[in-house]
Amino acid sequence: MNTSLIDSLRAQCGGPRDGALLRFSLGNALLNAGDHAAAAAEFRRAVSFDPAYSAAWKLLGKACLAMQDEAGAADAWRQGIAVARQRGDKQAEKEMTVFLRRIEQKGEG
């Protein structure tokens, strides 16, 4: 776990550089460290700063899924797909569509 990176990012929260990118970076570091709940909270903050941040929606879904919150993951990916579609972010749209389809198929099985 890269605690120095996480500590450094957390120290910037609430300051002049606070925003979607900082919260996304912190969420990503937390996700990589295995702190899924804290990561999800940071991704939610990232999309509250920038609701069109498709990468944050994608990783929010991954964090939710890691916590066995399939409904939360599906919701994040649905919102992310809509955002990606609006922005023309085809790769993110495609990835989240695949992730969402897996959850939906699992629910049917």
Reported as a single tens digit per residue, the pLDDT across 59-79 is 999 999 999 999 999 999 999
Q: What is the DSSP letter of 109?
A: -
- The structure's pTM equals 0.94
- By CB neighbour count within 10 A (0-12 exposed, 13-18 middle, 19+ buried), where does 41 fall? middle
Q: Is 89 left (phi over 0), alpha (psi -120 to 50) or beta?
A: beta
Asked if residue 99 lies in contact with residue 61, where contact means CB atoms within 8 angstroms, the answer is: yes
* In the chain, where the domains are located: 3-108
Q: In order along the chain (109 residues), what is the average pLDDT of each group of 10 residues?
A: 90 96 98 98 98 97 97 98 96 97 85
- Report how many helices (DSSP H) and strands (DSSP E) the chain contains, helices first: 6, 0
Query: What superfamily in CATH does domain 3-108 come from?
Result: Tetratricopeptide repeat domain (1.25.40.10)
